[in-house]
């Protein structure tokens, strides 16, 4: 596995946020990630406005956190991401400072 640097994105108000219409959403599209092929996210750090947030891969719920102000994800099992997938972070709040998310991707583990 090879670390692929860090990716950063800032949240925006989003009327399609499934937790709260107009709530904060941070989006990492394939273009934002600029990674060819499958990969995994082995670490995530967030700075947010509070509340709670959920992580989605495309239209599929993946994970949730009850601390939406400062949080980190350092899993025993990295999050697998297929080429072309979009990663979303949805907050259940629409006030406060826009969240910032830092993703740490690496090449995918062999099966």
> Residue 13 domain-assigned?
yes
> Residue 68 domain-assigned?
yes
Structural domain tally of the chain? Answer: 1
> Residue 11 domain-assigned?
yes
Helix (H/G/I), strand (E/B), else coil: 32: helix
User: Which pLDDT value is given to residue 73?
Assistant: 82
CATH number (domain holding residue 45): 2.60.120
Contact in structure between 89 and 17 (CB atoms under 8 Å): no
> Residue 74 domain-assigned?
yes
User: Which pLDDT value is given to residue 57?
Assistant: 97
Instruction: Give the DSSP H/E element, type plus range, for residue 73.
Output: strand 70-73
> Residue 2 domain-assigned?
no
C-alpha span between 54 and 91 (Å, rounded): 7
Listed residue (23, 1, 29) closest to 87, CA to CA: 29
Residue 65 structural domain: 7-107
Q: Is the pTM of this model over 0.85?
A: yes
Beta carbons within 8 Å of 56's beta carbon, 6+ residues apart: 18, 62, 87, 88, 89, 90
User: Which pLDDT value is given to residue 90?
Assistant: 98
- Per residue of the chain (111 residues), give pLDDT as tens: 899 999 999 999 999 999 999 999 999 999 999 999 999 999 999 999 999 999 999 999 999 999 999 998 877 889 999 999 999 999 999 999 999 999 999 998 766
């Amino acid at each position: 596995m090879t670390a692929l640097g860090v990716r950063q994105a800032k949240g925006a108000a989003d009327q399609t946020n499934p937790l709260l219409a107009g709530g904060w959403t941070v989006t990492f599209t394939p273009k934002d990630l600029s990674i060819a092929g499958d990969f995994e996210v082995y670490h995530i750090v967030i700075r947010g406005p509070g509340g709670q947030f959920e992580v989605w891969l495309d239209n599929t719920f993946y994970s949730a956190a009850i601390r939406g102000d400062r949080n980190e994800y350092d899993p025993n099992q990295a999050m697998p991401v297929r080429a072309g997938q979009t990663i979303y972070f949805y907050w259940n709040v629409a006030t406060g400072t826009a969240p910032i998310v830092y993703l740490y991707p690496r090449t995918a583990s062999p099966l």
